[in-house]
């Protein structure tokens, strides 16, 4: 880790709980790097999470942090942002946390275009509880709750976020960590709901069950399965078969919820005078 990032982390809380080879540490470091490189006031920054291995990340970050309830990170973050819109609010969440139990909070926070920076750690599984499938587990993959292969279709989370109203949507991976840092920085600049899907790996609860080899093999899978959106524009659909896109997938700023809320309060105050 860059020495200039040390003050952003609670070094006294180490060692962390993550298994050897877990991708969540790389993503947490990338978030720290993006925050350090952005011109934001650290004293005015709050990091909120739900419950899960990914949601433990704020516990290692030296900010005002909230470790809340499974699936409710966005509900708490919405409250924090509305109570003080000047705050920079980050939400660190897992695929289960954000898209299963927290799925409704996710689509409605995106629909409001409330100015939150959401980093969704997608390891395709419920890691913390031992490997149940989530809405982001690909069809056919093994989980404790799908021992013959997952029958369900998985969400493409950027597509869901865009359709719901998010104004900035991007995807990075634990392998493409520099790109991930850039996407998070862009998300911070966006005044509205920013969703950055960070593809992670869980060798313990997902890789082992799906015979994906070592953590290094899983990292290599992320490398070979991802295609930068700028490169993808020049490729045929056949070449993109089985791949996923990374980079900025959508950026369309429009009216932001807390600003509209403040305008309404001002208007009502004036009308009351
Ligand atoms: C209301 C509630 N339901 C279920 C749980 C159990 N639980 C804790 S973490 C978790 C899944 C976490 O998965 P994910 O959000 O994908 O994060 P990961 O551990 O994979 O990083 C579940 C189901 C809980 N803590 N609270
Ligand atoms: S169970 Fe999976 S997600 Fe949780 S710490 Fe271990 S490798 Fe990471």
* Residue 121's CATH number: 3.40.50.970
Q: Is 122 in the pocket of ligand 2 (CB under 6 A)?
A: no
Q: How many angstroms is it from 204 CA to the middle of ligand 2?
A: 6
Provide the residue range defining the domain that includes 265: 3-272
**Tens of pLDDT along 137-171?**
999 999 999 999 999 999 999 999 999 999 999 99
pLDDT-above-90 percentage for the chain = 97
Kindly identify the ligand whose nearest atom is closest to the C-alpha of 119. 1
Beta bridge partners of 146: 143
Question: How do beta strands 168-173 and 244-251 pair?
Answer: antiparallel
Q: How many domains does the chain have?
A: 1
Predicted local distance difference test score (pLDDT) of residue 253: 98
Q: Tell me what the mean pLDDT of segment 44-51 comes to.
A: 98
- Smallest CA separation from ligand 2 atom 2, residue: 202
In the predicted model, is pLDDT for residue 221 greater than 90?
A: yes
CA distances from 58 to 54, 68, 109, 231 (A): 9, 11, 20, 34
Q: Residues 6 or more apart from 143 whose CB is under 8 A from it?
A: 125, 126, 131, 132, 133, 137, 150, 206, 209
Contacts of 67 (CB under 8 A, 6+ apart): 49, 51, 55, 56, 58, 59
Residue 248, ligand 1, Cβ within 6 A: no
pLDDT over 90 (residue 127): yes
Buried (b) or exposed (e) across 155-165, using 16+ Cβ within 10 A? bebbebbbebb
pLDDT, residue 2, reads 85
> How confident is the model over 4-31, as a mean pLDDT?
96
| Mean predicted confidence (pLDDT) in 224-244 | 97
Closest residue CA from atom 26 of ligand 1 = 70
- Cβ contact 126:96 at 8 Å: yes
How many CA atoms lie less than 13 Å away from 133 in the CB half-sphere?
23
Of 123, 202, 216, the residue with max ligand 2 atoms within 8 A of its CB, to mutate for a pocket test, comes to 202
The answer to whether the beta carbons of residues 81 and 158 sit under 8 Å apart is: no
At 73, list the tokens. Answer: 């990170």
- Cβ of residue 19 lying under 6 Å from some atom of ligand 2: yes
Question: What's the confidence (pLDDT) of residue 1?
Answer: 83
Q: Is 68 in the pocket of ligand 1 (CB under 6 A)?
A: no
Residue nearest to atom 13 of ligand 1 (CA): 126
Whether residue 51 has its Cβ less than 6 Å from ligand 1: yes
Confidence at 3, pLDDT banded by 50, 70, 90: confident
């Amino acid at each position: 880790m860059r020495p200039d990032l040390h003050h952003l982390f609670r070094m006294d809380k180490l060692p962390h709980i993550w298994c050897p080879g877990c991708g969540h540490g790389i993503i947490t470091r990338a978030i720290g790097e993006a925050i350090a490189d952005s011109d934001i006031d650290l004293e005015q920054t709050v990091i909120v999470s739900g419950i899960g291995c990914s949601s433990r990340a704020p516990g290692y970050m030296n900010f005002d942090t909230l470790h809340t309830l499974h699936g409710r990170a966005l509900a708490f973050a919405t409250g924090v942002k509305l109570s003080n819109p000047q705050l920079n609010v980050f939400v660190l969440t897992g695929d289960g946390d954000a898209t299963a139990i927290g799925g409704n909070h996710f689509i409605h926070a995106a629909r409001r275009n409330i100015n939150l920076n959401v980093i969704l750690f997608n390891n395709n599984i419920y890691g913390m509880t031992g490997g149940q499938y989530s809405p982001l587990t690909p069809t056919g993959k093994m989980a404790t709750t799908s021992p013959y292969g997952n029958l369900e279709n998985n969400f493409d989370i950027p597509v869901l976020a865009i359709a719901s109203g998010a104004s900035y949507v991007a995807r990075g991976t634990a392998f493409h960590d520099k790109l991930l840092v850039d996407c998070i920085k862009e998300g911070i600049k966006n005044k509205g709901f920013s969703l950055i899907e960070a593809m992670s790996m869980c060798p313990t609860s997902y890789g082992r069950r799906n015979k994906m080899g070592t953590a290094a093999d899983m990292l290599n899978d992320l490398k070979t399965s991802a295609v930068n959106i700028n490169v993808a524009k020049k490729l045929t659909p056949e070449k993109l078969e089985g791949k996923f896109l990374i980079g900025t997938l959508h950026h369309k700023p429009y009216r932001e919820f807390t600003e509209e809320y403040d305008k309404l309060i001002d208007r009502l105050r004036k009308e009351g005078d």
